[in-house]
Amino acid sequence: MDNGRQFSFRTLIAAVCIAAVVGGFAGAGIAQGRAQGNGGSAGSAPEAQEATAGQAGQETQDATAEQAGQEAQAAQDATAAQAGQAAPASQITQEELQMLNRAGIAKMDIWDSPVYVIGHRSPDSDTVCSAIAYAQLLTKLGYPAEARITEAVNRETAYILQEAGVEAPKVLEDAAGASIFLMDHSEYAQAAEGMKDAHIVGILDHHGVGSVTTGHQVVYEARPIGATATIVWLDYMNYGVEIDPTTAHLMLGAVLSDTDNLRGSTTTDADRRAVTTLADIAGVSDVQAFYLGLHAEKLSYEGMTAEEILFSDYKEYEASGVKFGIGLVNAIDEETAARLAGEMKEALAANIGAGGTDLLYASVGMRENGQKIDYIVPADEASRQMIEDAFPNYDEYDGTAFIFRTGLGRKTKFVPGLTDYLAAHPHE
């Protein structure tokens, strides 16, 4: 309890005690006077005298207590006001915090406008929709920015863009010399052409730290979270910028896609809250129906060749001098997964060594009773042996694919595990 409150309560208690004593004496005197005025003696009507004295004493006590209470409340209010004047030194309002967050990017080293916000090659929904949303955020904050993509969007992303009523961003053919804000990646191997000669001003990601380096300060934000779009959503709030319904629709689709409808192993409470909040802003009343629509497009490879399927969600990495690539393929059930694994085997064999890759894989994934199952298809003997060595706890190898019945997620297990193994066993 602070000194102000101690003073208030002590004042109140003292006042009540004084009132009780004074009231008793005053009541007795009044009662005696009344009795004498009526011609009687003080002892002729003791019951009446006692009752009158008690009543008078109670009235005086109540009045004194009320006055003391008012004084105590006034003192307490004065103490609280005094404390309130000293509080701001250690307290920051929400508005001030938002202004400080804005100040945190005020020295972003921009050479030319606009800043191009761009994701990785083989763009997925999270990288495209996050780039659009973040470019709008930067523009609203006073930094002219435009979203760009490395190549045409896939069917799922096209569905989300159509539902939100947004056109796909333009393709950036060459990043050299441009001011770039990287979205959803920090690997040169995954970046647009000319990225090593670009002026990178920022990175927003939810993967491991990649190979991109700069000699100047950059805005860098990476979180172990389900979707980059969730980080973008958090930044809108952190900077105090309102999200419009169209942008919320895009971000909602991105989070649902990258977290597999909030079932992925990287999903956090932030992703879950982002979905409910963005759905409300976007006016999407049936989130499940929206997810089923985009997921159906994600599973559809109608009219695509095996090679197009392999590279529709493909990423390259480099670790300990070894360059490796992994293409993600989605299946609706295990029978489809096995069929697609066979098709990927042929496509992989035709592309091993392309782009300078030393190891090449397809990861065909599906869910069964809520459990993720992955078929890891190696391109050649070297790729196969690496899986044997780095991930010996696979459940089955059918001659085409290594089957992991508890999943081998590219972001959470495959890339980290392979990177660690290569670091511990340098490639000769």
Q: What is the pLDDT of residues 271-285, one digit of tens each?
A: 999 999 999 999 999
pLDDT bucket at 89, cuts 50 / 70 / 90: low
Q: Are residues 329 and 310 both part of a single domain?
A: yes
The domain boundary residue, chosen from 273, 299, 325? 299
Q: Are residues 330 and 409 both part of a single domain?
A: yes
The pLDDT, as a whole number, for residue 354 is: 78
Q: Are residues 159 and 201 both part of a single domain?
A: yes
Range of the domain at 47: 3-89
pLDDT bucket at 21, cuts 50 / 70 / 90: very low
Q: What is the mean pLDDT of residues 177-192?
A: 95
Q: What is the mean pLDDT of residues 149-171?
A: 96
pLDDT at 209 over 70: yes
The two tokens of residue 232 are 């973008």
Domain count of the chain? 3
Q: Are residues 234 and 381 both part of a single domain?
A: no
- At 419, which CATH number? 3.10.310.20
Q: Are residues 9 and 132 both part of a single domain?
A: no
What is the share, in percent, of the chain residues with pLDDT greater than 70?
A: 79
Contacts for 209 with CB less than 8 Å, ≥ 6 apart: 186, 222
pLDDT bucket at 65, cuts 50 / 70 / 90: very low
The domain boundary residue, chosen from 58, 89, 120? 89
Q: Are residues 152 and 246 both part of a single domain?
A: yes
Contacts for 47 with CB less than 8 Å, ≥ 6 apart: none
* Averaged pLDDT score across all residues of the chain: 83
Residue 128 lies in a domain: yes
The pLDDT, as a whole number, for residue 88 is: 60
The pLDDT, as a whole number, for residue 373 is: 95
pLDDT at 243 over 90: yes
Q: What is the mean pLDDT of residues 66-74?
A: 47
Which residue from 100, 115, 126 is spatially nearest to 238, judged by alpha carbons?
Answer: 100
Residue 411 lies in a domain: yes
Tell me the C-alpha distance between 191 and 205, whole Å: 13
pLDDT at 2 over 90: no
Q: Are residues 328 and 267 both part of a single domain?
A: no
Q: Are residues 176 and 324 both part of a single domain?
A: no
Tell me the C-alpha distance between 394 and 183, whole Å: 33
Which residue from 29, 24, 32 is spatially nearest to 59, judged by alpha carbons?
Answer: 24
The pLDDT, as a whole number, for residue 256 is: 98
The domain boundary residue, chosen from 249, 272, 299? 299
Q: Are residues 109 and 68 both part of a single domain?
A: no
pLDDT bucket at 355, cuts 50 / 70 / 90: confident
Q: Are residues 190 and 328 both part of a single domain?
A: no
pLDDT bucket at 363, cuts 50 / 70 / 90: very high
Q: What is the mean pLDDT of residues 390-409?
A: 95
Half-sphere exposure of 219 (CA within 13 A, CB side): 23
The pLDDT, as a whole number, for residue 80 is: 46
Q: What is the mean pLDDT of residues 181-200?
A: 95
More confident residue, 4 or 225: 225
pLDDT bucket at 426, cuts 50 / 70 / 90: confident
The reported pTM is 0.71
pLDDT bucket at 49, cuts 50 / 70 / 90: very low
More confident residue, 182 or 52: 182
pLDDT bucket at 113, cuts 50 / 70 / 90: confident
